Amino acid sequence: MNDKVFTKPITKQFEFDEEVAAVFDDMLQRSVPFYSESQKITEYFALKKLEEGSLMYDLGCSTASLLISIKRKLKTDATLIGLDNSQAMLERARKKCEAFGADVKVEYADILEYNYRAADVFVSNYTLQFIRPLVREKLVKKISNALKKEGVFIFSEKVISHHSKLNKDLIECYYDFKKTQGYSEYEIMQKREALENVLVPYSENENIKMALNCGFSHCEVVFRWANFATFIAIK
């Protein structure tokens, strides 16, 4: 189903409700530059760490597309768990897992309070940016504590620049991309307003510093387009 969520005047802040869940896969592909490529590199690094008996968590798994894709490529018996706090997303995730015959577990959960087991891989795709800055580092610390030695946390985020002119240019570059995907200026502005104070991005350096502060030995960007980046942090 095509994303038409912001063709009408907004009445509330952005949330992952039924209306968004119904078009979310299309929204991702058209709203996130090179989304498929960032997912492929996420899959690559996740699969390299998943051995017999390994455990992986996907935080904010939405419709479980990444987990299903990884499960289909796995050569070993690893456990994949997706967590999300949107029942609408999880309903679609469960239907997709069933349709693809993917042995993936998806759960309704608050990722800040969830009791994680020792894991080999954590993934979050554009999820940290929706966690309030006051508790974001607490979550990353919790992820670090749950990871086994040399485990990996692969996360994608929208990023900002602290150079005001460059930041403005990056935003304009991104809006030009969205226009090529068929979004109107009205839709772009409506979504921007709905996301105000809901999506709070950090800079590339701030994300790396946060990971290092939380116990990771190394963190760097492995894919970036303008103001969208995929990081890998190593325990």
- pLDDT tens-place string over residues 23-78: 667 777 788 899 999 999 999 999 999 999 999 999 999 999 999 999 999 999 99
Q: Which domains does the chain have, with CATH numbers?
A: 5-234 (3.40.50.150)
Stated pTM of the model: 0.91
What is the model's pLDDT at position 188? 78
Q: Can you say how many angstroms the Cα of residue 92 is from the centroid of all Cα atoms in its chain?
A: 17
Contacts of 166 (CB under 8 A, 6+ apart): none
Please give the single-letter amino acid code of residue 162.
H
Alpha-carbon distances, residue 156 vs 35, 99, 129, 146, 185 (angstroms): 10, 27, 9, 19, 25
Tokens of 57: 């968590």
Residue 76, Cβ neighbours under 10 Å: how many? Answer: 10
Nearest alpha-carbon partner for 3 in 196, 154, 190: 190
Tokens of 122: 């954590």
* Burial (CB count <10 Å: 0-12, 13-18, 19+), residue 209: middle
**pLDDT, tens digit, 9 for 90 and up, residues 212-230:** 999 999 999 999 999 999 9
Name the region of 177 (left: φ>0; alpha: ψ -120 to 50; beta: rest). Answer: alpha
